Structure 1
Amino acid sequence: MLPRPRAVRRTRARQASRILAALATMAALTSVDVPDAAAGPPLGSTARAAADAAAARVGALFAGGLDGGHFCTAAVVRSEERDVIATAAHCLEDPGTTVFAPGYRDGEAPYGTWKLTGVYLAPGWTAGEDPDDDIAFATVAPADGAPSEPVEDLVGGFPVAAEQPAGATVTVIGYPSSEEAPLRCANTTALFSPTQRRIECPDLSGGTSGSPWLVDGALAGVLGGYEGGGTVPEVSYSALMGDRAVELYREASAAG
């Protein structure tokens, strides 16, 4: 039996309500209401990052634990379950033994360490390590010394912003392997190719792979992409945050 017109209207209203709720959730995840990540040293110079709210959302990736040495950088991003980090795909070769320490500084992990519970990589990366797909997301859960609440409840999370202009001013916060605190550098950027962004910032050496590239406080990429993020500390790269990366982000956010 065909539904009565009033029932059809109620069904359509419920469907519209669910669609609007989903759109509202994604808008909240991508809206910009974050600490000023651009505050810091003059453009083009690198210095130790202040221990502020933005730096607390960035952490080092360790092999096994704090004694294993940190080798990459990651950052907490907003998500439905408040448990997602962003980093470079090439930083997630061994997720089973990788832990994340947000706000790590001078040997201390103020928010404990977090194990990876899920990894989201683009097919282009898993099939052939396409540098245009060198952006990844992972879900995390408490490990050693971490509170039981989600990581985003502790430090907040950066919204994700795709399709930024070619000359956007970007702030990079990351951990060189030789440093025990994050460095910060901001500068204007340029397109290296239609799919890669380039920035000139000194001292962003090994270990800064996966560092968030922040535009007006929102994640617009991570240090990686072309040549794994670059072969010299003075020039770094990021794949553009395009449709494929945004889809990965949505998958990770919804997975929880």
Structure 2
Amino acid sequence: MTPRPVRPARAAQAVALAALLLAAGTACGNGGQQAPTARVAPQSPAGDRIGTLAIRTAQGPRACTASVVHSPGRNLLVTAAHCVQSRRIGLLDGLVFTPGYRNGHSPYGSWPVQSVTVDPRWSAGDDPEYDVAFVTVRPVGGREVEDAVGGNPLGTGQGFDQPVSVTGYPNERDEPITCSVRTSAQSPTQERFDCGGYTDGTSGSPWVTPAGAVIGVIGGYQEGGATPGTSYSITFDGRVAELYRRATA
């Protein structure tokens, strides 16, 4: 497959009427072996906790993927930090989260982003070691997003070599893709998986264990990956646990 440019890796950027698009891509690796390729994700209640981040409406310009994580306020998402903020552009305004989006349909509506929590080291220098963000969304129709679709617990300190399913929304598709893989170490603080198809738009896609915990999101090294077949995440350790505490305080 043709490699994608390393910068801006998985985040494709464009400015139109002050709207920045940030997205995602990745590659083939797996020690020279043929990596699997993602397939269309079947609809399911758990899968509907994952959705698109787009500008203004569900049909607006796509940015990334995000998912609902359990929180006391029942209004929290997790995604990659580069999906929502960068030092060069600042905070991306006007984002809405549409869980379960598929083929033009928004079964639960769209939830406007209210606030974003990123680590100061990401804010100061787009440090790839802190490329994760927690995002609160406003209630819609008197309900919080977790009341509508549920939320996955956040998992930290799980280590490497974990089975996960990774579901996300490539910009060129109108339905999500998914792949079941095992994580491996990219470095002591970054991890990876190998599966084809994770192109622009899949940054922020959650790495979900069989028990339902989110232990990563596409992002980190190379903003998630330079080619569609190898994807990265920062390791969900104390850095992420502390950020979650800040987001839910």
TM-score range, shorter chain: 0.7 to 0.9
* Residue 56 of structure 1 pairs with residue 48 of structure 2: yes
Please, what TM-score do these two structures have when normalized by structure 2? 0.81
State whether residues 58 and 97 of structure 2, in contact with CA within 8 Å, keep that contact through their aligned partners in structure 1: no
Structure 2 residue 77 is the aligned partner of structure 1 residue 85: yes
Aligned to 1:112: 109
Q: 2:52 is matched by which residue type in structure 1?
A: A
Q: Aligned equivalents of 1:223 and 1:108: distance in 2?
A: 24
Residue 17 (structure 1) aligns with: none
Residues 72-124 of structure 1 deviation map (CA, whole Å, 9 limit, x = unaligned):
00000000010000000000034421111011111111111111111100011
**Per-residue deviation at 1:241?**
0.8
Deviation at 1:243, TM superposition (A): 1.1
Q: Residue 151 of structure 1 aligns with which residue?
A: 145
Between 82-91 and 244-253, the greater mean CA deviation after superposition: 244-253
Of the three residues 192, 199, 204, the one matched with 1:198 is 192
Higher relative contact order at CA 8 Å, sep ≥6: structure 1 or structure 2?
Answer: 2
User: What residue identity is the alignment partner of 1:230?
Assistant: G
**How well do the aligned residues superpose, as a CA RMSD in angstroms?**
1.3
For structure 2, list consecutive stretches of 5 or more residues without a partner in the other structure. 1-34, 86-90
Q: Compute the displacement of 1:214 (Å).
A: 1.0
Match of 2:112, as an amino acid? K
2-structure distance, mates of 1:44, 1:71: 25
Query: What SS does the corresponding residue of 2:93 show, helix, strand or coil?
Result: helix
163-172 or 231-240, larger mean C-alpha shift:
163-172
Partner of 2:246: 251
Match of 1:235 among 192, 209, 230: 230
CA distance in 1, matches of 2:150, 2:41: 17
Q: Contact (CA 8 Å) 2:59, 2:104: kept in 1 or not? A: no
CA contact (8 A) 2:191 2:233 kept: yes
Superposed CA offset, 1:130-155 (max 9, x none): 1110011011014xxx4321110110
In structure 2, distance between residues paired with 1:198 and 1:88: 15
Deviation at 1:252, TM superposition (A): 1.8
Can you give the 5+ residue segments of structure 1 that lack an aligned partner in the other structure?
1-42
TM-score by length of 1: 0.79
Q: Is the 8 A contact 1:74 1:85 kept in 2?
A: yes
In the alignment, the residues of structure 2 paired with residue 138 and residue 184 of structure 1 have an alpha-carbon distance, to the nearest angstrom, of 23
Q: CA deviation at 1:165?
A: 2.4
- The structure with more helix, counted as a fraction of residues: 1
* 2:129–2:189 Cα contact (<8 Å) kept: yes
Asked whether the equivalents of residues 45 and 186 of structure 1 are also in contact (C-alpha less than 8 Å), the reply is: no
Shift of 1:229: 0.3
Partners of 1:204 and 1:96 in 2: how far apart?
Answer: 25
Task: Report the counterpart of residue 213 of structure 2 in structure 1.
Answer: 218
Select the structure of larger CA radius of gyration.
Answer: 1
CA drift at 1:204: 0.6
- Alignment partner of 1:169 out of 158, 163, 166: 163
Match of 1:102 among 96, 99, 102: 99
How many residues matched?
Answer: 209
Runs of 4+ that moved beyond 3 A? none
In structure 1, the residue matched to 2:172 is: 178
State the distance in 2 between where 1:197 and 1:230 align.
11
What SS does structure 2 have at the residue aligned with 1:167? coil
Query: What letter matches 1:73 in structure 2?
Result: T
For each residue in 1:180-208, what CA deviation from the matched residue of structure 2 results, as whole angstroms up to 9, or x when unmatched?
A: 11111011121000011010011010100
SS at match of 1:246: helix
Q: Check whether the contact 1:49–1:173 (CA below 8 A) recurs between aligned residues.
A: yes
Give yes or no for contact 1:95–1:119 (8 Å, CA) kept in 2: no
- Paired-residue identity, %: 44
